[in-house]
Amino acid sequence: MNDKISIVNIAKKTIEAEANAILNLSDLVTNDFEEAVHLIYKSKGRVIITGVGKSAIIASKIVATLNSTGTPAVYMHAADAIHGDLGLILKDDVVICISKSGNTPEIKVLIPLIKRGENSLIAMTGNENSFLAKQANFIINTYVEKEACPNNLAPTTSTTAQLVMGDALAISLLNLRGFSSEDFAKYHPGGALGKKLYLRVKDISTENQKPQVSGDTNIKNVIVEISAKMLGVTAVVENDKIIGIITDGDLRRMLSKTDDFSMLTAKDIMGKSPKTINIDAMAVDALEVMEINDITQLLVEENGKYAGIVHLHDLIKEGII
């Protein structure tokens, strides 16, 4: 039990230490940070991000974030750079070098080589007096008082600070570029995230059958239509306009109330205020309407006319949920 309490306390202290370090970063966002953002924004080249050790892992993540938010970026490991990968850096590229100390041997070898190519250099470091900082055009300060590691050795708080500053950099550039959700969708076409951003109702509903009956259709034929189209529902349509909806539930309620439905027609049992959605609406919006109204399908309209059905199962199949 005591061991469990100790572990919980250690975890909480670690989180608190890193949270406090992140809050302190706000005071380190200076004019250099702003100038670095504008330098990247105006650059005709890419952003090359490099580092060693844990900083290299953070560099790789920042590259991924920049690429997904409209800023072309390339990852280059500092050790590999001095063994051939330096050729990745092109004339107009901006280089960001990440290092907590700014004084590692690899950095001291790499920086003069980058400077020789006359590329602009941004230092992301926790040491403004380091070799890296003194060689850089701009400094993004990621100073932390100490690591969350009790020995103040394992990169923990410092790499969290680097990660957060990388996010701040990416989001600043995103805003400068006016990067929209539509742009985001172009960079994330795969998976549930991408589909939420680009998949529309028409992409789904046109794949379904289109059950419909008229108001005067007898109940037997209503049942046949619902069964044949296998969506558990049919629209009631007059002159291409939706006037109602009949679901499996409506049929069950009808059967619980009467034994003889030979004289009943669709308009006698239909719901008269069905929920609809425009065919050009986003699929994720269709999901929201279903969730709010606790229903599993929507009737689709195009230019005020009945255009089909979108079902909850379609959204599940597409990974929207």
Q: What is the CATH number of the domain that holds 9?
A: 3.40.50.10490
Is it the case that residue 183 has pLDDT exceeding 70?
no
| CA gap 321, 263 in Å, rounded | 42
Is it the case that residue 160 has pLDDT exceeding 70?
yes
Looking at 133-275, which runs of residues are DSSP E strands? Answer: 138-141, 212-213, 233-238, 241-247
Q: Is residue 12 part of a domain?
A: yes
Give the mean model confidence (pLDDT) for residues 168-184. Answer: 84
DSSP 8-state code for residue 86 = G
109-149 tens-digit pLDDT: 999 999 888 899 999 999 999 999 999 999 999 999 999 98
Q: What percent of the chain has pLDDT over 70?
A: 92
Q: Is residue 10 part of a domain?
A: yes
DSSP 8-state code for residue 154 = S
- Sorting pLDDT into bands at 50, 70 and 90, what band is 82? confident
| CA gap 312, 105 in Å, rounded | 58
| CA gap 18, 74 in Å, rounded | 28
Coil, helix or strand for 125?
strand
- Sorting pLDDT into bands at 50, 70 and 90, what band is 189? low
Q: Average per-residue pLDDT in the chain? A: 89
How much is the pLDDT for 181?
65
How much is the pLDDT for 182?
65
CA atoms within 13 A on the CB side of 61: 14
Range of the domain at 302: 201-317
Q: Is residue 193 part of a domain?
A: no
Q: Is residue 185 part of a domain?
A: no
Total structural domains in the chain?
A: 2
Task: Indicate whether 74 and 155 sit together in one domain.
Answer: yes
79 versus 191: the higher-pLDDT residue is 79
Q: Which residues are annotated as a binding site for Zn(2+)?
A: 77
Q: Is residue 255 part of a domain?
A: yes
Q: What is the CATH number of the domain that holds 286?
A: 3.10.580.10
| CA gap 283, 302 in Å, rounded | 15
Q: Is residue 186 part of a domain?
A: no
Stated as kind and residue range, the H or E segment containing 294 is none
Task: Indicate whether 173 and 206 sit together in one domain.
Answer: no
253-287 tens-digit pLDDT: 998 888 888 889 999 999 998 999 999 998 888 88
Task: Indicate whether 77 and 139 sit together in one domain.
Answer: yes
Q: Which residues are annotated as a binding site?
A: 77
Q: Which of 34-48, 73-87, 258-272 has the highest mean pLDDT?
A: 34-48
Stated as kind and residue range, the H or E segment containing 75 is strand 73-77
Task: Indicate whether 165 and 215 sit together in one domain.
Answer: no
Q: Is residue 49 part of a domain?
A: yes
Q: What angle do CA 132, 136, 141 make, to 5 degrees?
A: 75
